[in-house]
Chain A
Amino acid sequence: MERKTNINAEVGKQELVITREFDLPVELLFRAYVEPDIVEQWMGTKVLKLENRPHGSYQFETSHDGNVVFRANGVIHEFVPDQKITRTFEMENSPFPVQLEFLEFEKGPEDTSKLNMHIVFRSGDYRDQLLKLPFAQGINMAHNRLQEAASKLR
């Protein structure tokens, strides 16, 4: 399958760039970032607040079995419809400091579009730790499955 999402994380830098091409007109791509019920569908998180304007703020929350497992918030600095969103992003109750995100939406040929997400971290180490996060979670999940399987054997 075609690899549409690219991550560019140069060694030793404190930033990374995520790019993705969409088979969607740029207006629809932008809308996916603006309407709370749509954000909830693809991000898989509850949107508590989403104020789409400069100096507006947002807050996301994810629950699992009735417990809040993830909460993030940020402030929107720039909001230009169908073009760009500049915002901060911070995971609550985590050791990770706030990060700065530049989201650029580009119109592509025909009904396609491109998203350029440039994230700046407090340090290169924090960036690398965040990159390793899904990897670490994957290991934990595999480990849990192993334990489940093992406990059934007993």
Chain B
Amino acid sequence: MNLRRDVFQAIADPTRRAILLLVASQSMTAGAIASNFDSARPTVSKHLQILTECELLEQEQDGREIYYHFNPKKMKEVAEFIEPFRKMWDDRFNKLEAVMKKYKTKKGERDGTKNKH
């Protein structure tokens, strides 16, 4: 039985990230991917299996060869994970900017047009 793979777990490994970078530029066979690494072929196969299970890579049969290609949609999900965190800070900073703009005006009133409010 396979455990469901976590995308974050998959991209936490440096070899798997290198594989993704490699395959992102062009589809490749397992053999061609393995030739780029010093790791043993079964190790690379294991990485490919993990990346395929979490759908970061997709397999495509072409004649006798299986080509791996990159799935950008899945990678976008990873970026979207961070988006709520970014949004939280963006909202805070927007508020900071709005609050401080009031102080900017007040300061101007004090310095420039002292007698008006």
Contact = CB atoms under 8 A, between A and B. Distances in A.
Counting chain B residues whose Cβ lies within 8 A of the other chain, the interface size class is 20 to 34
A134 B96 contact: no
Contacts of B89: 5, 7, 18, 20
Contacts of A115: 93
A20 B8 CA distance: 26
21 contacts: A9-B82, A11-B11, A12-B12, A12-B17, A22-B93, A22-B97, A24-B104, A28-B100, A29-B100, A31-B100, A42-B92, A42-B93, A42-B95, A43-B92, A44-B95, A131-B82, A132-B81, A134-B84, A134-B85, A134-B88, A135-B81
Interface in A107-144: 115, 124, 128, 130-135, 137-138
Contacts of A130: 85
Contact of A138 (B84, B92, B93): B84
Interface in B5-54: 8, 11-14, 17
A41 B84 contact: no
A5 B100 contact: no
Contacts of A38: 99-100, 103
B84 A28 contact: no
Interface of A: 3-7, 9, 11-12, 18, 20, 22-25, 28-29, 31-32, 38, 41-44, 115, 124, 128, 130-135, 137-138
Contacts, number: 78
Given A28-B103, A41-B95, A124 B12 contact: yes
B86 to A, nearest CB: 5
A131 B93 contact: no
Nearest to B101: A24
Contact of A135 (B85, B95, B99): B85
Contact of A28 (B12, B81, B92, B104): B104
B72 to A, nearest CB: 15
Contact of B99 (A25, A42, A131): A42
B65 interface: no
B109 interface: no
Given A29-B100, A43-B92, 20 more contacts: A7-B82, A7-B86, A11-B11, A12-B13, A12-B14, A12-B17, A22-B96, A22-B97, A24-B100, A24-B101, A28-B100, A29-B96, A32-B100, A38-B100, A38-B103, A124-B12, A130-B85, A131-B81, A135-B85, A137-B84
A91 B38 CA distance: 43
A99 to B, nearest CB: 14
